[in-house]
Amino acid sequence: MSTPEFARRCTEITRQTAELRKLVEAADALTPVPGCPGWHLGQLVRHVGGAHRWVEEIIRTRATREVPDDLVNAVAPRRAEDLAALGAWLDEGAARLVEQLHAAGPDARVWTVLPDETSPAFWARRMAGETLVHRADAALAVGAEFTATDEAARDAVDEWLSFCDHPEAHAPLPDSPAVLGPGRTLAFDTTTATPDAADGALSPGGPPPAPARWFIDLTGDTPVLHRTAAPAAVTVRATPTALLLFLYGRPLPDGALGVTGDRELLARWRDRAAFWLT
């Protein structure tokens, strides 16, 4: 049985794909993508469309073992690509994915990239966030403004932060500073519109969005995520969209992020917590 959250994420996949197609269909396929160094727009579109088709196969076949992801990563540059044709292919793949997600429902059992996640609900959220972030990449590549609803950006931020307790994000590494330790805590706050880059203070910019706060405790044996506000060693304040781009390591305009406290801890944690993006 579907849920409003599951249905919203399925809708988001369709919406973000359509917006991505609009951005690229009249562009040059060889346009560099700053958010994905070494890639061109054609590769970006094939990566997103390949991800949709890969997950569609997982859901359609109710796969319980890993499915080869060649469609996702086999995106070598091509000299000549028609982005209008690729856009149609992109739309088709997203439609097929959403159709299969709805057919399966959020609670069917399927393989995912994480051992503790085994449902189409995981994939609906993952593909909604994936498509949203790559739309941001396309917008930056073609010089267009990128905007996202607070709801979509907050959901993608929450997903990203939820991966923080996986061992790859915090386990000790040789010759690498530890992530865990006494007094190491992080806070993220997206309750206000525009941070001031100089001191992390918040400037008025209209009514604030709905509260969204996260607190990550790194003082124990494993990181613990709390969806609440608390004093921390380092605090980041930004709009939901700016925080999303920061976590994904995408370029940000000056003044988009307000940081107070231990910036070195933030950078160290951010680099390790991005393990699943590599």
pLDDT band at 72 (very low <50, low <70, confident <90, very high): confident
- Candidate CATH numbers 3.30.70, 1.10.10, 3.30.110, 3.30.1050; the one for domain 163-277: 3.30.1050
pLDDT for res 194: 43
Give the integer Cα–Cα distance in Å for 14 and 152: 13
Give the integer Cα–Cα distance in Å for 160 and 186: 14
Tokens standing for residue 158:
């929450």
Mean pLDDT of 144-167: 93
Tokens standing for residue 261:
């406290």
- Name the DSSP letter for residue 261: E
Mean pLDDT of 54-71: 94
Domain with CATH 3.30.1050 in the chain: 163-277
Q: Are strands 185-189 and 213-217 parallel, antiparallel or unpaired?
A: antiparallel
In the chain, % of residues over pLDDT 70: 91
In the chain, % of residues over pLDDT 90: 74
pLDDT for 92-124, tens place per residue? 999 999 999 999 999 999 999 988 899 999 999
Q: Are 90 and 82 in contact (CB under 8 A)?
A: no
pLDDT for res 126: 97
- Name the DSSP letter for residue 116: T
What does residue 30 show for φ and ψ, rounded to 5 degrees? -95, 10
pLDDT for res 274: 84
Domain with CATH 1.20.120.450 in the chain: 4-144
pLDDT for 140-153, tens place per residue? 999 999 999 999 99
pLDDT for res 240: 94
Q: Are 93 and 64 in contact (CB under 8 A)?
A: no
**Residue, of 64 and 278, whose pLDDT is higher:** 64
pLDDT band at 277 (very low <50, low <70, confident <90, very high): low
Q: Amino acid letter at 72?
A: V
H-type alpha helices, 33-173: 41-61, 70-73, 83-104, 120-142, 150-162
**Residue, of 210 and 81, whose pLDDT is higher:** 81
What CATH class has 4-144? mainly alpha
Burial 130-166 (b: 16+ CB within 10 A, else e): bbbbbbbbbbbbeeeebebeeebbbbbbbbbbebbeb
Q: Is the pLDDT of residue 202 over 70?
A: no
* Number of Cβ within a 10 Å radius of residue 113: 12
Give the integer Cα–Cα distance in Å for 152 and 150: 6
The closest of 195, 199, 196, 181 to 268, measured between CA atoms, is 181
Query: Is the pTM for the entire model greater than 0.85?
Result: yes
